[in-house]
Structure 1
Amino acid sequence: MQKRLTSSLLSAAVAASIAAIAAAPAANARPTAQNATRNANEAATARHYAALIAGAEPKTAELTLFFTQMPKGGDLHHHYSGALYAETYVNWLDKQGWCVDKTSYKIVTDKAAVAAEKAKPLEGRSCLSSADVYADDYTWRELLQRWSSKDFNNHSETQAPPDRQFFQTFLYFGPVSNTNFHEGLLEIKNRAIQENVGYIETMFKMSPFVANPQFDADAWNNARDDAALDAQMRAWMQQLDGDAKFNGAIADFTARIDEAAAGIDDEQFTMRYQTYVLRLLNPSQVFSSMLAGFKAATKDSKIVGVNIVGQESQKVSMRDYTLHMKMFRFLKSIYPNVKIDLHAGELALGDVPPEDLQFHIDQALNIAGANRIGHGVDLAHETNVVGIMKEMHDKDIAIEINLTSNAFINGVQGQNHPVTLVRRYGVPYVISTDDAGVTRHNLSNEYVLFASRYKPSYAELKKASYNSIRYSFLPEADKSRLMRQLDGRFAKFEAEIAGLDHMRPANN
C-alpha cells in the first residue's frame, strides 16, 4: 500500500509539474494583432534558445549573450556582503583610513598603526593602502585568493578545502563590508540592472542580540522538552520586550537599513531586505537575534523576512540545529505574518555522518514552518524526501537553487544536484546567486549553467524568471507591479531575439 501511495504521489507531482511548465505566463494569452506578434516573437525566441542547447555541447558563449539580455525577474537567495566583489572592498580601504596587512591579508583598522605605516616608504610598509595593493600584482593576486574563490580551480599549490576557503573569505573582508552600505547597495543595484534583474531580496544585516549564559544552559537542558523550552523562551521574550536597551538596538538597526536603502528603489529596480541570525552563536544570542529580526520585520516594511546563516556542517550548527528550528516555530507562533527563509540541507555526503543528512529540510519545513528553503542540497538523503517534495509541491513552497555555490562549497553538481529531483517532481524553484562576489559570477551565469547542464525548455526558463517574483516575500500589490514590468521586459527581449534569429544563417 505504501509503495502504491508513494508512486501515486510522485506521479501526480510529475503530471502537475509538466502541466505547470507547459503553461505560458497568463500575459501570453493575447487575442489582438499586437499580441499575435508577441506570441510569434516568443515562439521564435524558443526556437533560437532550443538551437543553443541542442547537441552534446551547448553553445555557452551564445547562451551567455542570451541570458545576459533575458529578463530574470529577481534574485531571492542573495547575501549582501558576499555579493560585492573584492575590488569594491579594496577600494573602500582608503575611504575608511585602513590598510591590508601584507603578510596575513587581513584588514588593519587601528588608525595610529595605519598612520605609522603610511609614514614609511612604500618598500618598507607591512600594511598597504588601496593603491599600494593594486600597485603590487603579487599582493593583489594573493589577496584575491583569500578574499574570494579567484584562481581556486586553476591553482596547483596546496589549498584549504573549498568550503573552508569560502567561509573564511568573510573573515578577511568582514570589517570593510560593514561600511558604506548605501554605496554597496547602489553597486549591487546597478550591476543587477545591467543584466536585466529587476528585484533583489538580499540578506543584508544580522539583527542585534544579547548574551544570557543562564538561558544557554537551560536551552540545552530543555532542548528535548518542548513545553519547558517554550516556557523558557516566553519568559525571556517578555523580559526583552520590556528592555529599553534591546528595543533601542532594534530601532537603531531598522534606522540603519532605512538609511542605506534610501533612493535604491525606482521604476527599473526594487530591493527588499532579509535580516538574519548566525547559527554559530550560543542559544541566547541566536534567540535574541531571532526575536530582534521578527520585531524589526513587523516595524519596517522594507524588511520582508528572517533567515539563518552560517556553515551548516559546523559543530555548533549541527548540535543546535533542531533547537534553532524550535526557536523559529515559537516566534512564528507569536509573529505569524513574518516570513522565514531558511538555509537548510546545505550538506553533502561526507560533510557530516550520513544520519545528519536525513532531517534538516524536513525540520525547516515541519518544525520551523519555512516559507522558502535555501539550497536543499541534501534532499535525496532526507528520510522524508517523498513527503518533503509533496509538501513543497502542495503548499507551493519554493527552493532556491544556487548551482555555482553548491558546486564550489559542497562539490554537488550535474546529475548529482537536487534540482534534478525538484524538476522531476514538481517542486517550485527559483534560480539564484548566493554569494556572487565571493565565487565571482552573476545571475546570468547561473542561468547559463542551468540551461547547459539540464536543457530545460524556454517555457520552463521563463517560468523560473517569473517564479523569482511570485515566490518573493513582497506584498501582492508589489508582486503584481513587478510581474507587469516583467511582461513588458520579456516582450522587448523576445522581439530583439526574434530579430536576431532572422540574422542566423539557415545552416546554423
Structure 2
Amino acid sequence: MSQPDLVALIPSLPKVLLHDHLDGGLRPATIVELAAEIGHELPTTDADELGRCFVEAAGAGTLELYLETFAHTVAVMQSTDGLRRVAREAVLDLAADGVVYAELRYAPEQHLLGGLSLQDVVDAVQAGFADGVAEAGTIRVGTILSAMRHLDRADEIAALALANRDAGVVGFDIAGPEEGFPPSKHASAFDTLRLASFPATVHAGEAAGLDSIAEAVQVAGASRLGHGVRLADDVHADALGLLAHWVRDRRIPLELCPSSNVQTGGAASVAEHPVTRLRELGMAVTINTDNRLQSGTSLSRELTLLVQEAGWTLADLEDVTVTAASHSFAHHDERAALIDTVIRPAYAAARGGRHRA
C-alpha cells in the first residue's frame, strides 16, 4: 500500500487510546463559552485563535511550561454541568476520529473549587461519558483517576477509584510534575490498590529518567508506563540494560505520545522519536494523544505522522492497535472480543482480504 493511500485510510481505521487527559482535550469553543459563563479571563475569545495559543504555549519546551496551560481548562471544569459537557464532547470527538475504545484520565482533586465533592466530580464525568457513549454508539470508555503527584491526596484518590470500580473507573494514575515527585512518595496508595487487585498506570520517563521508571515498576507495580519515552536511555546500540530488559520481558506497555514528547523536549521530532526503535526492539508500544488540545492533535494525526515521518506501515499500525487493546484495563474477554471482532477484521479489509505476511 502506498503511503498516500495509507494516510487516507487512517481516519477510518479502528483505534485504541490509553493515555488521554480529559482536561487536555476540550474544544476551544467550549472553553470560550464556559469561561464567559464564570467570568474567567482567557488570552483570546476567538476559538480558533485560542486553540493556536494552547499549542504555542504548550510547545515552550519543558513539561513544567506545558502544564501551565491547564490553568484555563481546569478553570472551566468546576461545575457539574461543565464537567458533564466536557466529558460528553471528549467521547464524541474520539468516536468521530475512529476510536473504538478509550481510557480517559483526570484528577478529581483539581475540580473542587466550585464546591463539588470528589464523588460529585466522578459522578458528573461518568454521566458525561455515558452521554457520549450513548450518542456515538461506536465507542467504549473506561475512566482512570489520577492523583497529583506533588500533592498529598493519593491515598484518598486511590480509595475513590476503588469505590467506583463498578461505575466505570478502571484504573489509577499519578500525574503532574514528575521531577522530584517519585512514585515512592505515594507508596501506600499503590499498596492499597495492589491488595485490592486494581491496576495502575504511572506517568514515568517523560520529564524524569530511568530512576522514575524503575520506581513506577518496582514501587508502584505499574501495569503500564505513562509515556516511558526515557526508557530509550537504557538502550545502547542493540543492547538493553537491566531495566529495559525487565520492562520488555514482562510486556509492560509504554503509553507513548509522540507529539507531546516533542513539545516537552522528550524528542527532537516524530521521525527521531524513540518509539520506532523501541518497537523494533520488541517493547509493547502503544500510541496516544496525551492532550489533544495542547498538541493540536488526534490519534489519527499521531498515526499519520508516524507513517509520514517514520515510515510506519499498515502492519505497524495494526500491531500498536492490537497491543493497546491487549493491555487496556478492560477484562480479558472484552479485550479479546474487541480485537477479534473489530480490529482484526477492519485491518483485514484494509489489506483487501489478504492474509498477514
One fold, TM greater than 0.5? yes
Equivalent AA in structure 2 for residue 170 of structure 1: F
Aligned to 1:438, which of 294, 306, 322? 294
Q: Which has the higher contact order (CA 8 A, sep 6+)?
A: 1
Aligned partner of residue 441 in structure 1, secondary structure? coil
User: Equivalences for 1:403-482 in 2 at 5 Å?
Assistant: 403-412=258-267, 413-414=269-270, 416-482=272-338
Give the Cα separation in 2 of the matches to 1:478 and 1:209: 31
Aligned to 2:97, which of 195, 208, 211? 195
Equivalent in the alignment of 1:307: 173
Equivalent AA in structure 2 for residue 377 of structure 1: V
Equivalent in the alignment of 1:99: 39
CA contact 1:250–1:292 (8 Å) conserved in 2 = no
Give the Cα separation in 2 of the matches to 1:290 and 1:467: 28
After superposing on structure 2, the runs of 4+ consecutive aligned residues of structure 1 that deviate more than 6 Å are none
User: Equivalences for 1:54-453 in 2 at 5 Å?
Assistant: 59=4, 63-72=6-15, 74-94=16-36, 97-101=37-41, 105=42, 133-134=45-46, 141=49, 143-144=50-51, 146=53, 148-150=54-56, 161=61, 163-179=63-79, 180-206=82-108, 251-266=119-134, 267-281=137-151, 285-298=152-165, 300-313=166-179, 318=180, 320-324=181-185, 326-335=187-196, 337-347=197-207, 357-382=209-234, 386-412=241-267, 413-414=269-270, 416-453=272-309
CA contact 1:206–1:289 (8 Å) conserved in 2 = no
Decide whether aligned partners of structure 1 residues 324 and 445 sit closer, same or farther in structure 2, where only a CA change above 3 A counts. same
Aligned partner of residue 330 in structure 2, secondary structure? coil
Give the Cα separation in 1 of the matches to 2:199 and 2:178: 21
Ranges in structure 1 where 5+ consecutive residues have no aligned partner:
1-47, 53-58, 107-127, 154-159, 211-247, 348-355, 499-508
Aligned residues: 342
Give the Cα separation in 1 of the matches to 2:255 and 2:206: 11
Decide whether aligned partners of structure 1 residues 251 and 206 sit closer, same or farther in structure 2, where only a CA change above 3 A counts. closer
Aligned partner of residue 268 in structure 1, secondary structure? coil
Equivalent AA in structure 1 for residue 205 of structure 2: G
Decide whether aligned partners of structure 1 residues 460 and 419 sit closer, same or farther in structure 2, where only a CA change above 3 A counts. same
1:486 deviates by 2.4
Q: Deviations over 1:18-51 (max 9, x none)?
A: xxxxxxxxxxxxxxxxxxxxxxxxxxxxxx1xx3
Ranges in structure 2 where 5+ consecutive residues have no aligned partner:
none
Give the Cα separation in 2 of the matches to 1:491 and 1:449: 22
1:253 deviates by 4.7
Q: Deviations over 1:424-444 (max 9, x none)?
A: 321111111000111111101
Equivalent AA in structure 2 for residue 479 of structure 1: R
The alignment-based identity, stated in percent, is 21
Give the Cα separation in 2 of the matches to 1:253 and 1:92: 17
Give the Cα separation in 2 of the matches to 1:478 and 1:372: 18
